[in-house]
């Protein structure tokens, strides 16, 4: 097997080996042992760390056997992610979602490209939490669980984002005002947040970085995506706890060619989500 792959996890094994979990472009999740990796610095140094983007050659004696990592060539180590606490924390949340969802022998070209897109933009130190929100909205879609931000999940009526909206994590959809009483746990979303997330669902990947998501809208979006992810996988997202504690980069000013998305109306102060709720 010869493929491009992202290192999702890496653990020492015995005195000299390393076992890596790879997200391989054409194979899905692959576990492989790098024999002597901790001694053979020339072959594997700095390559088998989580988030590294590699070109690998693996061999397997039988379909059920652990793969043997024969060669690894580094495309990118994403050094900035490894050296910055916020970037590393955001990447760890992405890593956890990938480890939950990516299965053996189930390659997914779209999720692979989305993961690379996210690592690349984190490494370039774009607003990291915005990269996470954009990753998640597309990730759920590619898994077949696209959040429905157009219709009410109760009555299927179209929801116009003109007033305060609510998202139902179990329905995976918005809740209209008529169905609100039947919906117990919902996440508030301002009309501006709904609009920007709708745009995020439609933009081609290569233009997704032009979408600016920050401030209260970003926090609302992250709260909704976190609640939806927990409900979807029926488990806690452990690395999200670190995300709450990680320091924040100040948002960089937009480049001249950025198409700043200006939602209308802007979210009000009352919609600001408390830090500990993301
Ligand atoms: Zn409804």
At residue 266, the pLDDT reads 36
189 C-alpha vs ligand 1 centroid, how far in Å? 16
Residue 8, Ramachandran bin (φ over 0: left; ψ between -120 and 50: alpha; else beta)? alpha
Q: What is the pLDDT of residues 50-102, one digit of tens each?
A: 999 999 999 988 878 899 999 999 999 999 999 999 999 999 999 999 999 99
Cα 77 to chain centroid, rounded: 18
Residue 228: burial class (beta carbons within 10 Å; 0-12, 13-18, 19+): buried
CATH fold label, 85-277 = de novo design (two linked rop proteins) (1.20.1440)
160 C-alpha vs ligand 1 centroid, how far in Å? 12
156 C-alpha vs ligand 1 centroid, how far in Å? 6
157 C-alpha vs ligand 1 centroid, how far in Å? 6
238 C-alpha vs ligand 1 centroid, how far in Å? 33
- Among the listed residues 16, 25, 26, the one whose alpha carbon sits nearest the alpha carbon of residue 48: 16
At residue 245, the pLDDT reads 85
List the single range of 33-42, 87-96, 173-182, 261-270 with lowest mean pLDDT: 261-270
Which of helix, strand or coil describes residue 261? Answer: coil
161 C-alpha vs ligand 1 centroid, how far in Å? 13
| Residue owning tokens 């809740």 | 175
179 C-alpha vs ligand 1 centroid, how far in Å? 4
Read off the tokens for 249.
Answer: 């980069």
Helix (H) or strand (E) holding 112: helix 109-123
CATH fold label, 2-77 = OB fold (Dihydrolipoamide Acetyltransferase, E2P) (2.40.50)
pTM for the structure as a whole: 0.86
Provide the sign of the torsion angle of the four alpha carbons 205, 209, 211, 215, taken in this order: positive
Q: How confident is the model at residue 41 (pLDDT cuts 50, 70, 90)?
A: low
Q: How confident is the model at residue 163 (pLDDT cuts 50, 70, 90)?
A: confident
Read off the tokens for 246.
Answer: 């990680």
Q: What are the domain boundaries of the chain? A: 2-77, 85-277
Contact at 8 Å (CB) between 231 and 201?
no
Which residues neighbour ligand 1 (ion) by CB within 5 Å? 152, 154-155, 176, 178-179
Q: Over 80: is that where the pLDDT of 45 sits?
A: no
100 C-alpha vs ligand 1 centroid, how far in Å? 31
List the single range of 28-32, 60-64, 138-142 with lowest mean pLDDT: 60-64
């Amino acid at each position: 097997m010869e493929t491009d792959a992202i290192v999702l996890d890496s653990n020492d094994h015995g005195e000299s080996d390393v076992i890596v979990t790879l997200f391989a472009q054409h194979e899905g999740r692959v576990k492989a042992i790098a024999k002597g990796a901790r001694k053979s610095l020339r072959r594997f140094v700095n390559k088998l760390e989580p988030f590294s983007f590699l070109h690998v050659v693996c061999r397997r004696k039988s379909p059920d056997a652990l793969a043997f990592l024969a060669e690894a060539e580094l495309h990118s180590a994403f050094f900035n992610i490894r050296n910055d606490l916020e970037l590393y924390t955001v990447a760890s949340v992405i890593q956890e979602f990938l480890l939950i969802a990516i299965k053996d022998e189930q390659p997914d070209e779209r999720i692979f490209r989305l993961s690379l897109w996210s690592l690349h933009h984190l490494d370039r130190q774009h607003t990291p939490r915005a990269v996470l929100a954009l990753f998640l909205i597309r990730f759920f879609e590619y898994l077949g669980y696209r959040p429905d931000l157009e219709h009410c999940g109760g009555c299927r009526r179209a929801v116009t984002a003109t007033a305060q909206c609510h998202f139902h994590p179990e329905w995976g959809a918005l809740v209209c005002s008529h169905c609100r009483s039947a919906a117990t746990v919902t996440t508030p979303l301002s009309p501006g947040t709904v609009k920007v997330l709708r745009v995020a669902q439609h933009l081609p990947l290569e233009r997704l970085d032009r979408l600016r998501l920050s401030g209260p809208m970003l926090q609302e979006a992250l709260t909704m995506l976190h609640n939806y992810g927990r409900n979807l996988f029926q488990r806690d997202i452990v690395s999200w706890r670190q995300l709450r504690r990680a320091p924040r980069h100040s948002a960089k000013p937009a480049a001249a060619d950025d198409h700043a998305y200006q939602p209308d109306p802007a979210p009000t102060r009352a919609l600001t989500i408390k830090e500990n709720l993301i």
